[in-house]
Chains A and B, each alone.
Chain A
Amino acid sequence: MGNEAIALGALAAGVNLVCGYPGTPSTEVLETVARRRGENTYVEWSVNEKVAMELAGGAAYSGARALVTMKQMGLNVASDPLMCLEYIGVKGGLVVLVADDPGPISSQTEQDTRTFAAFSKVPLLDPSSAEEAYSMVQEAFELSEKYGTPVFLRPTTRVSHGYASVSVKDPEEYAVHPVEGFVKDSRWVIFPKLSFANHRKIEERNAALQDVFSASPLNRTEPEDPLLSGLRRGVAAGGFSYTYVMEARRKLGALRVLKVSTPFPFPEKLAVEFLSGLDEVLCVEELDPYIERELVYICGKYGLKTRILGKMTGHMPRSGENSRDGVTAALAAFMHLPVPHEEADNPPPLPVRPPVLCAGCPHRASFYAVKQAMKGRKTIFCGDIGCYTLGNAMPLDMVDTCLCMGAGLGIAQAVNHLENDRSCFAFVGDSTFFASALPGVVNAVYNQAEFTLVVLDNSTTAMTGHQPHPGTGRTMMGDVVEKVSIESVLRGIGVTAVETVDPLNHALAVETVRKIADLPGVKAVIFRSPCVALFRAPAQAAVDPGKCIGCKKCIREIGCPALSFRDGKAVIDPAQCNGCTLCAQLCPVGAISGGEPHA
């Protein structure tokens, strides 16, 4: 996997400290480090990306090599320390791994970390494959130390989650990076005067890096086939899209290609060489028209007549992920070749499959309990980022808002200030609680807001593949530690009404929500039940077809994927059922039995 290659590359570079916060598609980098590290590497899941970036900065101040990992949304959280770190600079190598998500497949935005690199002035390497990612992470440490700056490594989903055969170093061949230790120096204290002086140096360095990158084998051009007639055309590509271009080129004829692996600072001299003599260039990239803008700028700066085509000219899609077929069709159109047409076929209508909460997921029971408790009341249910975002699906329909991690608390507070008669709820997962909900709780208590905080505590970071967090009592170094208690944290902030309940005990869960929701001020319900993907109950429930009256209440109310309706009766799929018994608890005729009791 690309992410594993990145981890092994960092270990080969002698990385001393690795930290981050889970987020698809970046998560496996840190997990692989934890699994494969030697005793010289410290690793942790930090509480959020901002804290992780600060740890990584501290390590780099001390002369250590540090890797910090996150997805593109996490970079927003970490942007404050990173923007400043660029001005302060580093001593040990600091590589910031940010995985972007064209599509988006598992994210809220299609933001482009290449654009963030230009904004933050942090150099960025953009791998097209797992193999490149492996070597680039090692080069990134070298660059970081040589030029005293953090360096981005930015894979996208297909690079991070793509598998490839990559030759890697054996642990005996890994570099050992000695840590000098922190040396007191005024260079570590940011002041306007220092920032002014360093800003000038940063701009000079990045201008110099443009030339370094123009000469680097990271960026390269592929020559065109001299037999191609007509206008002289080329393609500029970066990241995973480069692989689509090279596959299409095999079929369509060899265009001149510029591969941009260092979008920032942009390899301007190389680009000028590439553009010379070309009439038209198509830019093939995902997310922002980054290469396209650079080439348009270069054409203006050097008075080149080359037409630059891409997203901004409508020749490539402005949003979403590229594909083999899409890029091949765009290149064919660009070359005025016949675009392969698809034969019309009429398959039977296919099922739509929105993602759903797993069978037996305790979040389903939690949402259902709140829904039942608040039936007929004027409410708002503010959701958050995690598996429980899926509580929006029918029939639960329990997510009225979802913005970014921790945002539900702020939204609920504001709605309450404006509409006192509305019962406001904010749902947050256990990992998200620690990552980004705490300032929202303090804010609500201090500013006299009124809302119910619902903590969905499944004792893991489930959506990203079950990472530990401060509430789990395990660290990535393998230590068993004292858990940070969500109840104690809330009480410490001043939330007096805090009740913990098992959501799979439906009647008690409903009663608890009713009681807490009617209390004034900020109050909290903690639904605690472990993720079914981690702790599967041994038992499965089954429907007694003799008793089932076919009322479909179980199907209509909770939308469990293990439940279906066949020949007038409810049926439970034994391959999916985890025996949570929620359906059994709401069956009006007691036709469902088995499973793990929660009464």
Chain B
Amino acid sequence: MRKSIILCGVGGQGTVLASRLISSAAMARRIPVLSAETIGMAQRGGSVFSHLRMGEDLYSPMIARGEADLIIGFEPGEAVRQLPFLAPEGQMIVSSRPVMPVTAALSDTGYRAEEMLDYLASRVSRLTVVDAEAALAAVRSPKVLNLILLGAAQRCGALGLEAKDLKEAVRRLIPEKFHALNFRALEYTP
């Protein structure tokens, strides 16, 4: 089994942690993993992505256009930006909630999330839109969008991992006091 996964969003949304959880879960199942992510200045509110590949005989963690089996979009605009990487039969999980850049608030050049989601719906046959507002309200925390999306990705089968693999990864990588909240987010279904 070879899988190529892209996580994308805006710096600060928790893509890096989500990517590490997937890596850790896969490695615990002895699946070789290669990944690469954005660290540094771009993390401060810029567009960020993680490329993650699992399986045998891989050289590069970077994913080519049209090669991703799964894109997890933490933000509708960022999902559109990464769409060229999605394989023709690839799956996409995307959060419905836009994060407006500061420049948009300054000059009234904001964009509409609906337009992005419509565009994705017209191009991606296997698309799951996660209603972020409802999900965050249900788990009672504004800061766990990453685990909510990860749970949705797991349930659609595109990670090739089981729910318990991710829970174990949470136990390994996240401080204990946040476990309950993160499990709630992982298990959230609308």
Contact = CB atoms under 8 A, between A and B. Distances in A.
B37 interface: yes
Contact of A342 (B11, B33, B65, B143): B65
Contacts of B116: 348
B83 to A, nearest CB: 7
Nearest to B109: A351
A349 B111 contact: yes
Nearest to B111: A351
A110 to B, nearest CB: 15
Interface stretch (A269-277, A310-318, A375-383, A560-568): A560-568
Interface in A225-260: 240, 242-244, 246-247
A563 B105 contact: yes
Contacts of B27: 165
Given A106-B41, A463-B41, A353 B36 contact: no
A106 B40 contact: yes
A561 B63 contact: no
Interface string B82-97: 0110000000000000
A390 B44 contact: yes
Interface stretch (B54-62, B149-157, B165-173, B178-186): B54-62
A564 B34 contact: no
Given A158-B62, A350-B80, A575 B41 contact: no
B103 A162 contact: no
Nearest to B19: A163
Given A352-B101, A355-B43, A247 B60 contact: yes
A324 B60 contact: yes
B134 interface: no
A419 to B, nearest CB: 31
Majority secondary structure, A binding face: loop
Contacts of A355: 11, 41-46
A395 B106 contact: yes
Contact of B59 (A25, A246, A463, A574): A246
- Most chain A beta-carbon contacts within 10 A, residue among B33, B61, B65, B104: B61
Contacts of A575: 136, 142-143
Contacts of B103: 351-354, 394
A393 B101 CA distance: 12
Given A158-B62, A165-B32, A355-B46, A393 B12 contact: no
B39 A358 contact: no
Contact of B46 (A244, A247, A349, A354): A354
A103 to B, nearest CB: 10
Contacts of A354: 45-46, 101, 103
A569 interface: no
B45 A561 contact: yes
A564 B64 contact: no
B165 to A, nearest CB: 15
Majority secondary structure, B binding face: mixed
Contacts of B39: 24-25, 106, 161
B128 interface: no
A353 B34 contact: no
A421 interface: no
- Most chain A beta-carbon contacts within 10 A, residue among B23, B33, B101, B108: B101
A321 to B, nearest CB: 10
A489 B60 CA distance: 49
A357 interface: yes
A328 interface: yes
A246 B60 contact: yes
A165 B30 CA distance: 9
B111 A348 contact: yes
A244 B23 contact: no
Contact of A358 (B23, B35, B45, B136): B45
A243 B136 CA distance: 40
Given A24-B41, A351-B104, A164 B33 contact: yes
B59 to A, nearest CB: 4
Contact of A561 (B38, B60, B62, B102): B102
A323 interface: yes
A408 interface: no
Contacts of B108: 565
B115 A158 contact: no
Contacts of B12: 358, 576
B62 A323 contact: yes
Interface string A449-488: 0000000000000011000000000000000000000000
Nearest to A356: B45
Contacts of A564: 100, 104-105, 110
A342 B84 CA distance: 9
Contact of B115 (A106, A240, A348): A348
Interface pairs A-B: 10 shortest CB-CB? A106-B40, A243-B60, A575-B142, A24-B40, A163-B35, A243-B59, A324-B64, A246-B59, A355-B44, A355-B46
Interface of B: 10-12, 19-20, 23, 27, 32-47, 52, 58-65, 77, 80-81, 83-84, 100-106, 108, 110-111, 115-116, 119, 123, 136, 142-143
Given A24-B41, A106-B39, A353-B46, 12 more contacts: A105-B41, A158-B62, A163-B23, A244-B59, A244-B62, A325-B64, A347-B80, A351-B110, A352-B103, A353-B103, A358-B45, A575-B143
18 contacts: A25-B40, A161-B37, A162-B36, A162-B61, A243-B59, A243-B60, A243-B62, A244-B59, A244-B60, A356-B102, A358-B12, A358-B45, A390-B41, A394-B106, A564-B104, A575-B136, A575-B143, A576-B12
